[in-house]
Structure formats: C-alpha cells, structure tokens
Amino acid sequence: MKDTGLLIKKEGYRAGLIVLIDPDKIEIGEVKDKVNIYQKQGADAFFFGSSQPVKNNIHALAKEIRDNSKIPLILFPGSSEQVTPNADGILFITLISGRNPDYLIEHHVKAAPFVKKMGLKVLPTAYLLIECGYRTSVERVSRTQPLPASNIPNIVAHALAGEMIGMRFVYLEAGSGAKNPVSPEIIAAVKAEISVPLIVGGGIRTPEYAKTLVEAGADFIVVGNVLERSDDKDIVRKFSESMK
Ligand code: 1GP
C-alpha cells in the first residue's frame, strides 16, 4: 500500500478504525471524556466534520479534541466554512460520483489558499457516494446522484479514475446513518483494482459487519452514528478488535 500519511493501521491489524465526530453532535464539555474513551479503546484517527452547515464553534471543538488526544484529527469538511487550523490534516474531497462542478473543483479553489496557509496535511480523496436506499444529506446538500449499488463495474471505474487522476485515497460512502451500508461485494471489486487505501463508511452499525468489510478489503472503517446511539460502553473496543 502507498504511504497513508496520517492514516496508519496498528501493527497486527488489517484495517484502521476512524471515529467520525460531528461538530453539532458533541458539546465542548463532553469532548475530553469522549475522545479519551475512543482513543483508549483503539480508534486510530478522528474525522471531524458534517455534511450540514455547523452551528457549534468548530475551531474551539477541534482544539479541545486535539488537546485531549494523541491520534490524528483529520477534517472531513462539508464545506470550506468547516476548515480550521486546529487539526492535523484535511480530507481534500472530490465528489467524483457526482457531476456538480462545485464539488469537483469550485470548493477546492476556494479552500486551497487557506488550507495551505494553515499548514494542514492534505489527503486528496476520491469520494464516491453509493446509493443506500434513501436520499442522504450528502445528496441533498451536493445536489448529486449516488452511484447505483447494483452497477459494480461503474463504481470500480469511478474509483480507478480517481486513482489515475492522482487521488491518494478512495472513500466509499453510503451516507451518514445509511440504511444499507456499502456491501462487501462492492468493496472486494474496488479493492481488486485500486492500489491506494480504501476508506469505507456510512451506516456501519455492528463490529461483525465491520469485520466482513475488512475481510472484503477495506483499509479504514469510519463509524459515527452508532457510537452516539449505542449503550455499549465498549463499542469502540469491539469495532477496533474487528479490524484484526
Ligand atoms: C458518514 O461515513 C460516515 O460520512 C459515517 O457514517 O455516521 O452512519 O457511521 P455513520
């Protein structure tokens, strides 16, 4: 696998676990305890961002996360307003499943000068939204169509095009809280053709399902919603164990 920079798997693990923190689903007073637990239970990195406009103070929240954890904090911004210098890096996302020029180049042009000034490490990422059975907020906000889950050759062609353009990661996204997460069949087909790391997220609810995705070839698994909803205090540890 090529250099993954900030995204690193632990020794002896087949995949890395990324915890998505939505800036509007956490209050500053909760950050310290939550990030401590996530980190202690085996999270390898944090993604931070939302597909919706954010009301909370992202700069203060990001600083608090960083001050209280040792794992990388990587921005996963829904828009250029969610960019803050208080992070280690940024997923520089291109929504290549869609055909909206704003998400193919316009936002990038706006963000590039201040991303450079902030000194964030840039992770150029081909972002593919895969249909999940309902209209996700990424679809609504980006005004793009997801790729049909049944047309696997088309999904593979998009991932390959992203790699050939020069993107360093491919991210298969079913959408936050997706009813149907990305399938192991799609992951295996994409993984067989690309050589950059494969990130998978959206609607992953159980460590068992995460394990099937890792077995299919996912290099990094992203979980968000399930951590908010679960009463299991060991949920992150269980997800982390399923990365082995
Ligand atoms: C969404 O891939 C992430 O962008 C995580 O989704 O919140 O459904 O885990 P969930």
What's the pLDDT tens digit per position in 156-204? 999 999 999 999 999 999 999 899 999 999 999 999 999 999 999 999 9
Q: What is the CATH number of domain 16-242?
A: 3.20.20.390
Could you tell me the distance, in angstroms and rounded to a whole number, from the CA of residue 43 to the centre of ligand 1?
Answer: 15
Q: Taking CB atoms and a 6 Å cutoff, what residues make up the pocket around ligand 1?
A: 20, 173, 176-178, 201-204, 222-226
Task: Identify the CA nearest to 36 among candidates 78, 7, 67.
Answer: 67
Cα 51 to middle of ligand 1, angstroms: 10
According to the model, what pLDDT value does residue 108 have?
93
Q: How far is the CA of 205 from the centre of ligand 1 (A)?
A: 10
What number is the average pLDDT over the span 128-150?
A: 93
| Nearest atom within ligand 1 for CA of residue 225 | 7
Residue 17: CB partners within 8 Å, gap ≥ 6? Answer: 42, 43, 44, 220, 221, 223, 236, 239, 240, 243
Measure 173 CA to ligand 1 centroid, in angstroms: 8
- Dump pLDDT digits (tens) for 23-47: 999 999 999 999 999 999 999 999 9
Residue in 18, 142, 225, 239 to alter for ligand 1 test, most ligand atoms within 8 A of Cβ: 225
Confidence of residue 154 (pLDDT cuts 50, 70, 90): very high
The answer to whether residues 38 and 70 touch, using CB atoms and an 8 Å cutoff, is no
Q: What's the confidence (pLDDT) of residue 2?
A: 46
Angle at 201 between CA 67 and CA 28, to 5 degrees: 25
pLDDT value at position 4?
62
For a substitution probing ligand 1, which of 18, 50, 140, 173 has the most ligand atoms within 8 Å of its CB? Answer: 173
Question: H helices of the chain, where?
Answer: 28-40, 58-67, 101, 107-118, 137-142, 152-165, 184-193, 207-216, 225-229, 235-241
> For residue 133, what pLDDT is reported?
87
Report the run of H or E that residue 231 belongs to, with start and end.
none
Task: Please tell me the predicted confidence (pLDDT) of residue 51.
Answer: 87
Task: Return the pLDDT at 1.
Answer: 46
pLDDT for 35? 97
Give pLDDT, residue 78.
Answer: 87
- What pLDDT score does 5 carry? 80
Q: Give yes or no for residue 3 having a pLDDT over 60.
A: no
Average pLDDT of the residues in 114-140: 94
The confidence score (pLDDT) of residue 42 equals: 97
The region of weakest confidence among 13-17, 107-111, 194-198 is 107-111
Distance 221 CA to ligand 1 centre (A): 10
Confidence (pLDDT) at 80: 81
The minimum-distance atom of ligand 1 relative to the CA of 76 is 4
Q: Report which residue type is found at 153.
A: P
> For the whole model, what pTM was predicted?
0.97
- The tens digit of pLDDT for each residue in 205-230 reads 999 999 999 999 999 999 999 998 99
Question: How many whole angstroms from 157 Cα to the centroid of ligand 1?
Answer: 23
